[in-house]
Amino acid sequence: MRSGAASPFATPDQAARQALEAAGTDTAISVGDDVTVAGRAAYQIVLTPKSADSLIRDVRVALDGEKLIPLRVQVYTKGAAEPAFEVGFESLSFTAPAPENFSFTPPAGAKVEEGTATPPADHRPEAAAEAHDRGRVVGSGWDSVLVTSLPETPAQKPDAPAQKQDEKGRGGLDVAALLDGLKGAATPVSGEWGSGRLLSTKVVSILITDDGRLLAGAVTPEALYRAAGVKG
């Protein structure tokens, strides 16, 4: 199975479910050209955003012509010939695995203990509170914009200890360095919403405001400016 860079989905099924669940009245749904994926004949469902603010041209879900399961999901941005994101099978077999593949015999002298599995991180009780801290969403559907507050730097914390603080986020990510890099690559912008710096690509637009907010979405810069004007 292949997947595009920084793919948030492990399988075509996960990506297809996310795309189809998000499709609403702001989405035009059609049937695309037949394709071949992993050597199997498939037909395509094409999801096209109706919004002019969306950077996404369409999402194509290839379904197996016999089994009706997702084989591939591709996301195309406006003006691009190649998909910005793709996850799909390169080879696929529906043959049932042999039963012995699932059997396990402990080696002689081994001690077997049964335990309780730890819930996934996003299912923990505190996960909801952590998600709330990550920000809020302005808009809906294809026009959704994530709005979050930038983390404070040591210079913004007058009561911070003199020693160097740990500014790294989850996974050891240096958040301060990342933000500095974004700001360095961004363009100064301003409007009725305020001022800040804009980083715009074919896939996503990011706005870092001077009042300490970060806005991001697969939308045009104009959509970010409108979201920046929504106080909450």
The whole-number average pLDDT for the span 157-173 is: 51
Task: Give the domain ranges of the chain.
Answer: 2-88, 133-228
**CA–CA gap between residue 193 and residue 231 (Å, rounded):** 10
Percent of the chain residues past pLDDT 70, beyond the cut: 78
**CA–CA gap between residue 149 and residue 156 (Å, rounded):** 13
Q: How many CA atoms lie within 13 A of 159 on its CB side?
A: 0
The whole-number average pLDDT for the span 60-72 is: 97
**CA–CA gap between residue 81 and residue 60 (Å, rounded):** 13
Distance, CA of 45 to chain centre:
21
Does the structure show a pLDDT above 90 at 184?
no
With cut-offs at 50, 70 and 90, classify the pLDDT of residue 159.
low
Q: Which pLDDT score, from 0 to 100, does residue 7 have?
A: 54
- For 168, list phi and psi in degrees, rounded to 5: -90, 140
Read off the amino acid at residue 79: G
Q: Which pLDDT score, from 0 to 100, does residue 199 have?
A: 94
Name, in order, each residue with C-beta under 8 angstroms of 39's C-beta and a sequence gap of 6 or more: 91, 92
